[in-house]
Amino acid sequence: MADDQEVLARYSRRAGRFADVISGAAPGRWSAPSPCADWNAADVVQHAVDMHAAMFASTPTGLTPAPAASEDPLGAFNSARADIERALRDPAVVGLAVQTPMGPSTFAAHVDTVASADLVIHTWDLARALGLDYSIDPDELEDQWQGAQQIPDIMRQPGAFGPGIVVFGPVVEVSADAPRQDRILGLLGRDPYWT
């Protein structure tokens, strides 16, 4: 299990990439569709913010009030990012026992496996929605490969974790000799060639 400093460093690296993509958006792109069905670019950012808020569900605190992603995508995300980073630096919070849809965890482990890990793929989603070139970091692909091959069926069932919640869509078939990024995206329910 990763120590808390590793969790913070990994989260900060992933959040930095996500924020960089937000910053790279051309004016007027926030209503553009994304590879995630029914979401536009701003919705991808709002989902990331909502996942950050969910990390605090079993704690006495929550996210600092901030604008919605539809109004200020970078401000909304950076506010949520600052709250997570602050919590991951707080010894009283990182080891806090929390309840999650997948069972008991610690705050730090929950952030690491959900909100932080989520940013890896959603950075690609957001870049595609914004019309930006983006390749997932090779080290992240290596880390994601094993888990992407072992997604339980329940994670693909709409509503299994609550009304309206879809964790992963159906597998998108990709050639066995396609690049690893494309194969991972397919396993996570994305069309790697989406434009």
Query: How many Å apart are CA 46 and CA 39, to the nearest integer?
Result: 10
Q: What is the pLDDT of residue 1?
A: 46
- Give the pLDDT of the chain (195 residues) as one tens digit per residue: 468 899 999 999 999 999 999 999 998 999 999 999 889 999 999 999 999 999 998 888 899 999 999 999 999 999 999 999 999 999 999 999 998 877 899 999 999 999 999 999 999 999 999 999 999 999 999 988 988 888 887 777 776 666 666 678 889 999 999 999 999 999 999 999 998
Place of tokens 């709250």: 83
Which secondary structure element, helix H or strand E, spans residue 97, and what is its range?
strand 97-100
For the chain, the structural domain boundaries read: 4-134, 136-195
Bridge partners of 40? 33
Place of tokens 């880390």: 143
Query: CB neighbours of 138 closer than 8 A, spacing ≥ 6?
Result: none
The pTM (predicted TM-score) of the whole model is: 0.92
Pick from 101, 16, 177: nearest CA to 186 = 177
Q: What is the pLDDT of residue 102?
A: 77
CATH architecture assignment, domain 4-134: Up-down Bundle (1.20)
Q: What is the pLDDT of residue 190?
A: 93
Place of tokens 């970078």: 74
What 142-149 contacts at long range (C-beta under 8 Å, 24+ apart), as own/partner pairs, is 144/117, 144/120, 144/184, 145/180, 145/184, 148/183, 148/184, 148/187, 148/188, 149/187
Query: CB neighbours of 151 closer than 8 A, spacing ≥ 6?
Result: 168, 187, 188
Q: Is-contact 192 172, C-beta < 8 A? A: yes
Cβ neighbourhood burial of 123 (10 Å; 0-12, 13-18, 19+): buried
The CA-atom distances, in angstroms, between 190 and each of 67, 101, 121, 144 are 29, 23, 9, 14
How much is the CA Rg of the chain, to the nearest whole Å? 16
Q: What is the pLDDT of residue 164?
A: 60
Q: What is the pLDDT of residue 124?
A: 98
